[in-house]
Chains A and B, each alone.
Chain A
C-alpha cells in the first residue's frame, strides 16, 4: 500500500487562492459588485492523500476544484505542484506548457449524463486525451484503452457503443477511465458519486480506492455527503462562503470539530439507525450571499456562539492544534460536540 508521505514536500500547495467574479450592470458594464466565489484559500495536499472538500451548495467547492486545474483562471494566489522533486509554478505556465501539465492533473465530473459526448463511442471518449497528447501511436492507444476499460470494470465489447447505452454508474466508470488515460498523478473528483444510487455509489467508491492504490494517485474529493467524505478521505476541508472554515485529519474533524459550522453540519447528518439520532443544532437563516458577505466572520449571522468581535473581525485560518486548522476566534475556548457526543438515544 502506498503511504501518505508526510515528511517530504506536499504534492500541491495553494496559497491565498482567490476567484472573484465582477457583477456588471448597465450598458457601460460598470462593475457594481464582486462575487467572492473562492476567497483566500490556503491548503496543501500530500502525495497519495485524499483530501475531502465539503460544504453547502454555493460555498465555492466546485470553483475551488476548477480553479486549481485552471479550468477557471484564478484572480489571485499561487498554485504550486511538486513532481519528482521539481517545483512547478502552475499559475505562471503559458498555454502550451499548461497543456503539457494537464496530463498530470485530471478531473472526474459530477454528472455522468452530461459529461460524456453523446456522439462519440466509448473508445473515442477514452482515447481522446491520448490522441490530443500526441505521443501515442494508434496501436498503443488501442491497447491502453482496452486495459483501462477493464480496470474500471467494463468489457471490451462495450467499446463501440455510445454513452446512451450505459447506466449512470457505467458512465461514471467511463468518465474515470478517461480521466486516467494519460496516467495522471492528481485527480479532482467533483461530486463523482452524488448522482449515483447507493449500491452503485459503493462500487464507484471502491473503484476509486483501488485505482488510487494501483496508480499512486492523489485525490481532491469534492462532495456534500459527509458520510461518503468520511469514508474516503484522509483529511477533510470544510468550506463556507468561499473560505476554509476548518481543515484537519478526518477522524479529528468528525470527533473533535473546532468550528461551530462544522459542528452544525455534523449535527444535520441523518443517522441510519432508528435507535439513535443526532442532536440537531439549528442554524438560523440560509447560506449568506457571496456577493454581499457579512462583515467580520462570514458565519457569524448563523453562529450560536457569535460575539461582538465576530461581527467586526474576520478570523484568519490558524493552526489551533497540530495539523488542525480552523478559522474561528474562539476555537480554543469552545467545547464543541463531534459525532460521538451528538448522538442521543431515540
Chain B
C-alpha cells in the first residue's frame, strides 16, 4: 500500500513538475482483483518492480477489486490525469468497452493485459498482451500424447477433461485448443467426458471422484489449471488409482510443481505472472515508442514436464 501511494504521489509530483520529466512516460494500470489469488498478487509485485527498474517509466497502479464499476471509474481517473498509456486487466470483457473507447478517443492508447476484451471493442485497443490459451490447450494435448506414446498406450488410451469455470474465455479457449489438437497428434486416444471444476481444487476433486466411479479405466486427466489438476490427483490417490493416470494441467502452480517433483503429476504449461506483467509493461512502452506491435502480442508459455522441470524455477504462487 505504501509503495502504491508513493507511486501515485510521485506521479502527481512528476505531472506538476511538467517539463522537468518530459522524457518519462506515464503509464496507468487498472488491474482486475489483486489479492484474490496468488497469480494476480505476484503480477502486481512484478509489474511495480519492472516499472521501478525502468527510469523512463512512471506508473499509476490501481486495482478494481473485481468491481466493474470501480474499474470504469479508474479508467476515467486515468483519462483525467492524462497518462500516456493505459493498461487494463478487464474485470469483464464486455462492460469495460465504453471506458476503453473513451480512453482511445481521448488519444490514450489502451493495452489489454492477461484476458482480452470482447471483439467489438478491438477497434479501441492498441494491443493485447497475454498468454495464448488456445496454444496452451494444444501444448497440453501434445504433452499428454507424447507421454502415451512413451508408455505405448497411444492406441487405446482413454482420458477425461476437467475444465475451468463455464463461460470464461480462458476456460473455453484452453478446452478448444486441447480438443482440436489431441485428435491431430493422437487420433486413437478417446476423450470420454468433460466436466467443469470451476478453477476450484475441491470442486475438481469431487468431479474426479465421480469420474473414478463411472469409468473403470482412465489413463489421463487434462485439467484447465494445476489447482484443479492437483484436486483430481488427490481424488485418484484416495482411490488408489493415481499410479495408472497421467495428469496434465496448465498454469503451473507451486502445488503442481511439487507434485511433479514427487513424480505424481506429469506435466503442465509454465505461465509466469512475472512474464505476464513484464510483457504488458513492455508492450505499453513499445506502443508509446511508436514501434510496430502486433495486435495479439502473446508471451511464450512453454511446456513443463517431469523431464524438463529443472529448467524452471518453482512458481511462487
* Chains A and B belong together in one complex: no
Task: Show the binding face of A for B, using Cβ within 8 Å.
Answer: none
**Interface residues, chain B, CB within 8 Å of chain A?**
none
